[in-house]
Amino acid sequence: MSDITRLTLAEARDALAAKKISSLDLTKAHIEAIEKARGLNAYIVETPDKALDMAKAADARIASGNAGPLDGLPLGIKDLYATEGVHMQACSHILDGFKPPYESTVTSQLWRDGAVMLGKLNMDEFAMGSSNETSYYGPVASPWLPAGWDADKGRAALKGDKKGLLVPGGSSGGSSSAVAAHLCLAATATDTGGSIRQPAAFTGTVGIKPTYGRCSRWGVAAFASSLDQAGPIARTVRDTAIMLRSMAGYDAKDSTSVNTPVPDYEKSVGASIKGKKIGIPKEYRIDGMPAEIEALWQKGIEWLRAAGAEIVDISLPHTKTALPAYYIVAPAEASSNLARYDGVRYGLRVPGKDISSMYENTRAEGFGREVRRRIMIGTYVLSAGYYDAYYVRAQKIRTLIKRDFELAYQDGIDAILTPATPSAAFGIGEKGSGDPVEMYLNDVFTVTVNMAGLPGLAVPGGLSASGLPLGLQLIGRPFEEETLFSVAEVIEQAAGRISLPQAWW
Amino acid sequence: MSVDQATVRRIAHLARIAVRDEEVPHLQQELNAMLSFVEELSAVDVTGVEPMTSVIPMSLPLRKDEVTGHAGADVVTRNAPGADDHFFTVPKVVE
Amino acid sequence: MNATAKPSKLIKGATGDWEIVVGMEIHAQITSKSKLFSGASTTFGGEQNSHVSLVDAAMPGMLPVINEECVRQAIRTGLGLKAKINHRSVFDRKNYFYPDLPQGYQISQFKDPIVGEGEVIVDVSATEQIIVGVERLHLEQDAGKSLHDQSPTESFVDLNRSGVALMEIVSRPDIRSAEEARAYVTKLRTILRYLGTCDGNMEEGSLRADVNVSVRRPGGPLGTRCEIKNVNSIRFIGQAVEVEARRQIAILEDGGKINQETRLFDPARGETRAMRSKEEAHDYRYFPDPDLLPLEFDQAYVDALACELPELPDDKRSRFIADYGLPPYDAGVLVMERESADYFEAVANGRDAKMAANWVINELFGRLNKESKTVMTSPVSAQQLGAIVDLISAGTISGKLAKDLFEIVWSEGGDPNSIVEQRGMKQVTDAGAIETAVDEIIAANPDKVEQAKAKPTMLGWFVGQVMKQTGGKANPQAVNDMLKQKLGI
């Protein structure tokens, strides 16, 4: 085998089971690839020693016939997840030096199932961002080169400020970049407003945000508790299905975790979608949407119709309110969730003349600009005199958004098809420097799903005119992720697997 | 609704984030951009709509009253930027 | 709340009478093994930061899971306060920064508490009873502890208490004096201890009061109130109300104005002072905690808890009055502690209840107080005291000797019957023996005999002499009768 990092997760699993490769070799290949790809800045911490130890242990289990579902498969972990004894900073300065004495439930399940940890992945600070430019560790570059760029130009940009290179999306930009650049077989990610689906769409990978309550939030630093969900990014629909099975599950340590059995999602990959009713919401046809996005959507509709699905025009009338309502609910929760970063028990402390100025200095220096801005807007919308006008109203609107979906599902809709993003990936440094709202518009199609707690999946549908990946989004009924995998696989087959970039970095 | 500079300072203090004088106008502009973005929500009719308290229809799970252990004072204070004899230490607070 | 206090409770100022208005927020630590939202122990007095879980230390990604026992205890307390139990309540975050508040917010209940309106019947004195309204009871987390005296430049933070379950019980401003304030807390503490929902240990901080004090002209509009934080003894609560009211009156009579503020009571100086850390106006930005769902239960759950409630002090007191014929005040004293009431009932069982009450209240409680003991640690058991009462009732020993006997049992222990037997303490009822003694005394004191004829109250002197002669064992009634007969009075 020429380059075993090009295997899909499922292929690698099967090759390991067939003893065609060893986890040690697979892991070493990834460690090498990561070392060569440091310019992308996808990994902020590499844990090669740990990876090799885990790989050896996995090989022993495989040899003895006791392999777990993910045994020997090297993964990257988003820095939002607590990994015991290993750096965890949510890519923020404020958690300087923090090494958690505990392991998140989701990652512990991955290790339980035999997976190998390669390191911690870059992300937007505390998952706040859509381009991975808010990280304390600097931006991540997408392995996709902008149109007209050659490898030399790309490498030169990597050595500099990366301006002009493409963003991998955010907040799980380290995850999407690493998966697309073959720096891991799959990665964990999290999604509060689109942070799994938008990066997947920007990099030609597959990402699923499961139903709220499907994956435990325990041990994952909170951004907005009522919206946050863990999920995987991988290179194929099947690979995300395999990952989700290990990541999902009830956790008594999370009061919002739902106690319902985890199906073998992989079984739904390849299942027929004949007779499935696919809703096409007219409200997602927004003003100024590029024609190629509209065209992609149409192609998606045709593929599903050809596979025997019934296409139904539906209306989700409160779609337009989701993004502004999100920018009240999410910052409000974040302003409170991030209050614990106060320089007392862990992380950065910047001295001050008294306790109050110690807090203020620590938080001013420890948080980046986007995080500070969101904490402030969140503080404002919860403050006396504004709470009802902003927060309570936004939560009422959330009820309306969820009701829109419920009505569609009551009418027999099995899944909803929309574009994943309003555009292809943009350049590093291109957006949001003047008006923060410009960046927020990236999440216009994904954020409704978080507001309603539903599962959403992004799958590549094709390339833009400039040769960049474009994604389609599927939105499902609560806890019916299996339908999404079945439908997504139809799109994946019809669109043809995207050919990910060769290493130019 | 929009915020003035005094409000920016008040909010920053409530959030315990130091702001320098020269940052205030820019912050004010950003916050107002966000506020004008969410302004369209005031046009939505929410009469009789209950605010969402949980996105999944379930009630609060209760745990048994059992002592399931402590992290240990070493572990609890290990990451602290200020600690003395297993206490966290902070600049003196005057009550 | 607009009821005006009795004239006797008003404070006389230079410009006329003033009325005190007090409302209280009591923070009662719930009796449970583990904390409200974590599995760390609630045991008091561990090494610093030794009873702290990752949740209590607010490590990144940690989440709260509620303790069922704390929910049960809050409902039981609500039932004990005859309050409305809310089948759906919501946990909110109260956001503020303080070093001993690791999350940067306290999980509490703001808009929808678990318990609504109730009331507490308070015996202020032997003759006065008031009703103090309870506005609400809600569940919340305790904060950690900051020590300010360990270093000149730093405060030390211990999170052992962080996350311990509290019930905050908010009264209406129905209290009109320091005495009423003390009586209210005393009664509330009694109810909590009966229910077993809070141990009421004020030294260990299991029960603390925030006392809201204002003054007004009798029946006039309410004045501006000051909140005195964290008063930790019933005596101090009374003192704090008194000194704070006088401080406010002095300001008002000087033409000044009361600032609504948070103050601390300094028992050493006997004054209250403004808290510097609370100077700035707070904006707690309450909102429902998104890590928790609404707390819901049905009436059947509440009914099951109601069925198992113990007899509460008010009911017990009524029963003691009705069944044992006790005066209301005595009944009230006996039911103050569940253990005292149980002790009394053990003594009274099958005996003269009034005599039993008398012995328990006067002899036993008096002695226990003197030696800082409780009925739980009493050297005299209910069985022993019952035996003493039996000996008195049977006329075997006199009341005076009974007190000596009580002393012996207190300090040496043993079976009262055997002690009386062994030490010859039996009362002399034999008429012959008594007559001999009477005759001897009469013969020895002819002058006194003369006097007694003119002044019958002299009889007491003769009784005393006879009792002395018989070593206190003579039946006083028999001595009395015989002396009257012999002296002809």
A283-311: per-residue pLDDT in tens?
999 988 899 999 999 999 999 999 999 99
Percent of chain A with pLDDT over 70: 100
A98 lies within 8 A of chain C by CB: yes
- Domains contained in chain B, number: 1
Cβ contact, residue pair A255, C157, below 8 Å:
no
A residues 306-365 lying closer than 8 A (beta carbon) to B = 318, 320-321, 324-325, 327-328, 335, 339, 342-349, 351-361, 363-364
> What pLDDT digit, counting tens, does each position of A14-73 carry?
999 999 999 999 999 999 999 999 999 999 999 999 999 999 999 999 999 999 999 999
C149 lies within 8 A of chain B by CB: no
Instruction: State the angle between helix axes of A48-63 and A23-36 in degrees (0 to 180), rounded to the nearest 10.
Output: 160
The tokens for A64 are: 């003895």
Cβ contact, residue pair C49, B58, below 8 Å:
no
Query: Per-residue confidence at C394, pLDDT binned at 50, 70, 90?
Result: confident
Report the pLDDT value the prediction gives residue C126, as an integer from 0 to 100: 82
Cβ contact, residue pair C285, A336, below 8 Å:
yes
Rounded CA separation A367/A364 (Å): 6
Rounded CA separation A500/B87 (Å): 53
CB contacts of B71 in chain C (<8 Å) are: 52-54, 57
- Sketch the domain layout of chain A as residue ranges: 4-317+403-495
Report the relative pairing of strands C105-108 and C118-123 from DSSP bridges. unpaired
The C-alpha of C284 sits at a distance from chain B's nearest C-alpha, in angstroms, of 9
CB contacts of B61 in chain A (<8 Å) are: 252, 255
Rounded CA separation A100/C423 (Å): 74
Q: Residue C16: is its pLDDT beyond 70?
A: yes
Least confident of A475-489, C100-114, C120-134, C158-172: C120-134
> What pLDDT digit, counting tens, does each position of C32-74 carry?
999 999 999 999 888 999 999 999 999 999 999 999 999 999 9
Q: Residue C436: is its pLDDT beyond 90?
A: no
Which residue is closest to B64 within chain A, CA to CA?
A: A252
Report the relative pairing of strands C105-108 and C92-95 from DSSP bridges. antiparallel
CB contacts of B92 in chain A (<8 Å) are: 354-355
A31 or C395, greater pLDDT: A31
CB contacts of A252 in chain B (<8 Å) are: 61, 63
User: Is residue B68 in a domain?
Assistant: no
Which residues lie closer than 8 Å to A198 by C-beta, 6 or more apart?
A130, A169, A170, A420, A421, A442, A443, A446, A458
Rounded CA separation B46/B41 (Å): 10
> Are C196 and C216 in contact, with CB atoms under 8 Å apart?
no
Q: Which of A396, A409, A479 to mutate to test the interface with B (most CBs of B within 10 A)?
A: A396
Cβ contact, residue pair B68, C34, below 8 Å:
yes
Report the pLDDT value the prediction gives residue A1, as an integer from 0 to 100: 47
The C-alpha of A81 sits at a distance from chain B's nearest C-alpha, in angstroms, of 17
Nearest neighbour of A333 by CB, restricted to C57, C283, C290: C290
CB contacts of C53 in chain B (<8 Å) are: 68-71
Return the active site residues of A. 78, 171, 195
Which residue is closest to C297 within chain B, CA to CA?
A: B59
> Are A398 and B50 in contact, with CB atoms under 8 Å apart?
no
Report the pLDDT value the prediction gives residue C279, as an integer from 0 to 100: 53
> What pLDDT digit, counting tens, does each position of C445-462 carry?
888 888 888 888 888 888
Report the pLDDT value the prediction gives residue C278, as an integer from 0 to 100: 57
Alpha helices in chain B (DSSP H): 5-14, 24-38, 73-78
A299 lies within 8 A of chain B by CB: no
Report the pLDDT value the prediction gives residue A247, as an integer from 0 to 100: 98
Instruction: State the angle between helix axes of C68-80 and C299-307 in degrees (0 to 180), rounded to the nearest 10.
Output: 70
Cβ contact, residue pair B41, A380, below 8 Å:
no
Which residue is closest to A219 within chain C, CA to CA?
A: C61
Which residues lie closer than 8 Å to A493 by C-beta, 6 or more apart?
none
> What pLDDT digit, counting tens, does each position of B18-53 carry?
999 999 999 999 999 999 999 999 999 999 999 998
* DSSP element (H, E) containing C139: strand C129-141
Report the pLDDT value the prediction gives residue A435, as an integer from 0 to 100: 81
> What pLDDT digit, counting tens, does each position of C129-165 carry?
999 999 999 999 999 999 999 899 999 999 999 999 9
The C-alpha of A84 sits at a distance from chain B's nearest C-alpha, in angstroms, of 12
In chain C, ranges of CATH 1.10.10.410 domains: 431-487
A95 lies within 8 A of chain C by CB: yes
C298 lies within 8 A of chain B by CB: no
- The one-letter amino acid code at A146 reads P
Rounded CA separation A467/A500 (Å): 11
Query: Which is nearest to C340 in space by CA: C319, C315, C322, C313?
Result: C313
Cβ contact, residue pair B73, C155, below 8 Å:
no
C residues 286-345 lying closer than 8 A (beta carbon) to A = 286-287, 289-293
Cβ contacts below 8 Å, chain A against chain C, sum to 99
Percentages helix, strand, coil for chain C, rounded to the nearest 5? Answer: 40, 20, 40
CB contacts of B67 in chain C (<8 Å) are: 33-34, 39-41
Alpha helices in A37-78 (DSSP H): 48-63
The C-alpha of C253 sits at a distance from chain B's nearest C-alpha, in angstroms, of 29
> Are C474 and C428 in contact, with CB atoms under 8 Å apart?
yes
Range of the domain at B34: 5-38
> Are A332 and C287 in contact, with CB atoms under 8 Å apart?
yes
Q: Kindly provide the ipTM of the predicted complex, given to two decimals.
A: 0.97
Cβ contact, residue pair B31, A394, below 8 Å:
no
Q: Residue B69: is its pLDDT beyond 90?
A: no
Query: Per-residue confidence at C1, pLDDT binned at 50, 70, 90?
Result: very low
In tens digits, what is the pLDDT along chain A, a chain of 505 residues? 469 999 999 999 999 999 999 999 999 999 999 999 999 999 999 999 999 999 999 999 999 999 999 999 999 999 999 999 999 999 999 999 999 999 999 999 999 999 999 999 999 999 999 999 999 999 999 999 999 999 999 999 999 999 999 999 999 999 999 999 999 999 999 999 999 999 999 999 999 999 999 999 999 999 999 999 999 999 999 999 999 999 999 999 999 999 999 999 999 999 999 999 999 999 999 988 899 999 999 999 999 999 999 999 999 999 999 999 999 999 999 999 999 999 999 999 999 999 999 999 999 999 999 999 999 999 999 999 999 999 999 999 999 999 999 999 999 999 999 999 999 999 999 997 778 888 888 899 999 999 999 999 999 999 999 999 999 999 999 999 999 999 999 999 999 988 999 999 9
Report the relative pairing of strands A415-419 and A277-281 from DSSP bridges. parallel
Handedness of CA A417, A418, A421, A423 (dihedral sign): positive
Other Cβ atoms closer than 10 A to C458: 18
Fold of A4-317+403-495: Amidase signature (AS) enzymes (3.90.1300)
Strand partners, C264: C229, C273
C58 lies within 8 A of chain B by CB: no
For residue C25, report the phi and psi dihedrals to the nearest 5 degrees.
-115, 110
Chain center to CA of A356: 36
User: Is residue B67 in a domain?
Assistant: no
Handedness of CA A115, A120, A126, A131 (dihedral sign): negative
Report the pLDDT value the prediction gives residue A477, as an integer from 0 to 100: 98
Cβ contact, residue pair A98, C292, below 8 Å:
no
A353 lies within 8 A of chain C by CB: no
Per-residue three-class SS string for A331-378: HHHHHHHHHHCCCCCCCCCCCCCCHHHHHHHHHHHHCCHHHHHHHHHH
Query: Which is nearest to A343 in space by CA: C54, B17, C279, C55?
Result: B17
Which residue is closest to C153 within chain B, CA to CA?
A: B92
Which residues lie closer than 8 Å to A287 by C-beta, 6 or more apart?
none
The tokens for A223 are: 């951004």
The tokens for B56 are: 């999944």
A residues 208-267 lying closer than 8 A (beta carbon) to B = 211-213, 226, 252, 255-256, 258
Radius of gyration of chain A (CA): 21
> Are A416 and A448 in contact, with CB atoms under 8 Å apart?
no
Q: Which residues of C195-217 are buried (b: 16+ CB within 10 A; e: fewer)?
A: bebbbbebeebbbbbbbbbbbbb
Q: Which residue has 């009462």 as its token pair?
A: C389
Cβ contact, residue pair A383, B11, below 8 Å:
yes
Report the relative pairing of strands B62-63 and C66-67 from DSSP bridges. parallel
CB contacts of C152 in chain B (<8 Å) are: 92
Nearest neighbour of A102 by CB, restricted to C54, C58, C64: C54
> Are A160 and A44 in contact, with CB atoms under 8 Å apart?
no
Cβ contact, residue pair B52, A348, below 8 Å:
no
The C-alpha of C57 sits at a distance from chain B's nearest C-alpha, in angstroms, of 7
CATH architecture of C431-487: Orthogonal Bundle (1.10)
Q: Which of A217, A255, A256 to mutate to test the interface with C (most CBs of C within 10 A)?
A: A255
Query: Which is nearest to C165 in space by CA: C45, C27, C29?
Result: C29
Q: Which residue has 């089948």 as its token pair?
A: C87
Query: Which is nearest to A448 in space by CA: A288, A227, A297?
Result: A227
- Nearest-5° Cα angle at C70, C67 to C76: 145
The C-alpha of C112 sits at a distance from chain A's nearest C-alpha, in angstroms, of 15
Burial of C399 (C-beta count, 10 Å sphere; 0-12/13-18/19+)? exposed
Rounded CA separation C171/C132 (Å): 7
Query: Which is nearest to C20 in space by CA: C256, C255, C309, C214?
Result: C214
Nearest neighbour of C157 by CB, restricted to A81, A256, A344: A344
Which residues lie closer than 8 Å to C297 by C-beta, 6 or more apart?
C71, C75, C87
> What pLDDT digit, counting tens, does each position of C242-263 carry?
999 999 999 999 999 999 999 9
Which residue is closest to B8 within chain A, CA to CA?
A: A376
Q: Which residue has 């029960």 as its token pair?
A: C207
- The arithmetic mean of pLDDT across residues C394-412, rounded, is 89
* Phi-psi region at C217: left, alpha or beta (left = phi > 0; alpha = psi -120 to 50): beta
User: Is residue B56 in a domain?
Assistant: no
B residues 76-95 lying closer than 8 A (beta carbon) to A = 76-82, 88, 90-93
> Are C198 and C28 in contact, with CB atoms under 8 Å apart?
yes
CB contacts of A392 in chain B (<8 Å) are: 51
Q: Which residue has 């009713």 as its token pair?
A: A277
User: Is residue B30 in a domain?
Assistant: yes
The C-alpha of B53 sits at a distance from chain C's nearest C-alpha, in angstroms, of 7
Burial of C251 (C-beta count, 10 Å sphere; 0-12/13-18/19+)? middle
Which residue is closest to B54 within chain C, CA to CA?
A: C293
Q: Is A458 helix (H, G, I), strand (E, B) or coil?
A: strand
* DSSP element (H, E) containing A46: strand A43-46
Q: Which residue has 């600097």 as its token pair?
A: A138
C152 lies within 8 A of chain B by CB: yes
Query: Which is nearest to A296 in space by CA: A454, A202, A423, A148?
Result: A423
Query: Per-residue confidence at C467, pLDDT binned at 50, 70, 90?
Result: confident
> Are A2 and A50 in contact, with CB atoms under 8 Å apart?
no
